[in-house]
Amino acid sequence: MRTDPDAVESALDGARLAVFRHEPDWDRDPCGIAGDLQWIGCRYGVDGVHSRGLAALLDAVTDSDRGCLLGLFSPGGGAVRAGEFRLKGAGRDIHLSCDAMVEPGGGGRPRRITGTIQDISERRRFEGTLNDTLRSKQMLLAIIDACPISISVADAQQPDTPLIYVNRRFQGLTGYEPADILGRNCRVLQGPDTDPEAVAAIRRAVAAGDRIDTRILNYRKDGTPFVNGLLLAPIRGGDGAVTAYIGFQSDVTEDARREEAERQRQRIEVMGRMMGGVAHEINNLLQPITLLTQELSDRHADDADGPYLDMVLDCARKARRIIGDLLAFSRPGNRTAEPVAAGDLVAATLPLVGKAIGPGVVLDTRIDGGAAALTVRADRTAFAQVLLNLAGNAAAAMGGNGTITVALDLDRAVDPVNGTGPRHARITIADAGCGMDRAVLDRAFEPFFTTKPVGQGTGLGLSVAYGLIKDMGGDITLASTPGLGTVATVLLPVFDPPATA
């Protein structure tokens, strides 16, 4: 059976493949380009392959690849040779791959070279596209990894939706390295005070394949809590099914604290206005009761009714003191604040505190010299009332026995507006008492809220202290752990006298 040469030529041309045999004429050309070339198949747009031989192919090769082509036909080298070179095509290069078998001749020169040349342009373009895609993905991953927002990805197609990616900001935010967290569910960030309702809301959104934007109390690897501003969004495949979840996390602890402080301020302001009106009316009613009871007590001092009148008078005076607290709380603008050294302010109040806390409580005072020299603007009487209220609560929390530490130092937090610090003198009152849980701590500044037994507290001490400090332009916060005690922190802003012209 004979093969049709035209059919073979057509098949090779369609396959973008050429078969060649070249016998170099070393007498005419020391490079081996001259000689007899037999070429069957695709010509790749090269004119004169049959008439000019390899010279026509060499002229069509790009300048940078000529050495590769010459190497295939040069003396020396192995019996099997391969290489790639490009032809100058119309608009874009044609990539060719050559595989050749060399029959050695005299003097180490090839006597005959046979082989194939194949068009691999599409393969190289595909590889180039693939490399570009991989580079783009690597660039995208590098951008995500360097993003200042915490990003995590969880696989929704695996049981328990484990994390499969976290960027560097996530590591910085939570303290978890990829080796610690990948393959685990993000519930590892939850802790004892994480709100179950927030967890349930996230689970409902995940079950429904919905996006959720929420806040949740999470814990870093070292156990410190932070309020996590979490945006969780589903990633869907081509069929619409959820394949993964991407999470964006941010530490919004300070935002949450400021918002809660603002809500507290608004609640107290509303209650203050209400209490001010009520207190004023009750004070008007107590005025004649007190005066008339005093008059009757003086008249009946020596008879059997005297003790009863003294009891009524004592109750009326206690009621007036409570009314005085209410009025002090509801009328914050009637006090006179003046510049004073923070050290002098605290030192002047400590003797009063020492007498008020009782003999079983030791007062441990720690004053930093730099903070003592800071000038703050404060009402001395109001500040004394604040310190007395806080120290009184601390003594009560310890059952009248223990040590209260009063410290004055610099608040070294950076000012969020000007980027400078410190801008506050910090006074802390710490005890080792029973402490408060989160539910009590959240309500501690509410007027009339108290954990003391009936008749032992009005619930006004902390709320009055809060109002007085806020009126001075400062801030007051509480930190507490059940069984370990409470730390009350008072911040008074540094007084900057107005610039003179």
- Is residue 194 over pLDDT 50? yes
- The pLDDT, as a whole number, for residue 197 is 92
**What pTM does this model have?**
0.46
pLDDT digits (tens, 9 = 90+) for 240-250: 888 889 889 98
Nearest Cα to 354, choosing from 396, 408, 395? 395
Cβ–Cβ under 8 Å, residues 432 and 484: yes
Task: Quote the pLDDT of residue 190.
Answer: 92
- Distance, CA of 30 to CA of 75 (rounded, Å): 9
Specify the pLDDT at position 430: 92
Q: Which CATH class is domain 5-119?
A: alpha beta
Beta-strand ranges (E) seen in 420-483 are 424-430, 475-481
CA 294 to chain centroid: 64
Which helix (DSSP H) or strand (DSSP E) does residue 362 occupy? Answer: strand 361-367
Reply yes or no on whether the pLDDT at 328 is more than 50. yes
Secondary structure element (H or E) that encloses residue 151, with its range: strand 150-155
143 to 51, 147, 208: CA distances (angstroms):
57, 6, 30
Measure CA 338 to chain center. Answer: 41
Q: Which residue has the higher pLDDT, 275 or 352?
A: 352
Alpha helices in 92-195 (DSSP H): 121-146, 168-174, 178-181
Show the tokens assigned to 481. 């752990």
| pLDDT(414) > 60 | no
Angle at 443 between CA 438 and CA 444, to 5 degrees: 95
Strands 402-411 and 361-367: parallel
* pLDDT band at 416; cut points 50, 70, 90: very low
Mean pLDDT of 384-405: 87
The reported pLDDT for the residue numbered 452 is 65
Q: Dihedrals φ, ψ of 352, to 5°?
A: -65, -40
DSSP string, 197-243: HHHHHHHHHHHHT--EEEEEEEE-TTS-EEEEEEEEEEEE-TTS-EE
Please give the residue that has the higher pLDDT: either 366 or 300.
366
In whole angstroms, give the CA distance from residue 308 to residue 323. Answer: 23
For the beta carbon of residue 263, count every other beta carbon within 10 angstroms. Answer: 10
- Confidence band for 123, pLDDT divided at 50, 70 and 90: confident
Tell whether the model's pLDDT for residue 421 goes beyond 60: no
* CATH code for residues 336-493: 3.30.565.10
pLDDT of residue 417: 44
pLDDT at 475 over 90: no
Which pLDDT score, from 0 to 100, does residue 275 have? 62
Task: State the pLDDT confidence band at 459, using cuts at 50, 70 and 90.
Answer: low
Check whether 388 has a pLDDT greater than 70.
Answer: yes
Which CATH number among 3.40.50.720, 1.20.1070.10, 3.30.450.20, 1.10.3720.10 corresponds to the domain 147-251?
Answer: 3.30.450.20
Say yes or no to pLDDT of 220 above 90.
Answer: yes
pLDDT, tens digit, for every residue of 272-319? 666 666 666 777 777 787 787 787 777 777 787 778 778 887 787 777
What residue type is assigned to position 23 of the chain?
A: E
Nearest-angstrom CA–CA distance, 410 and 427: 9
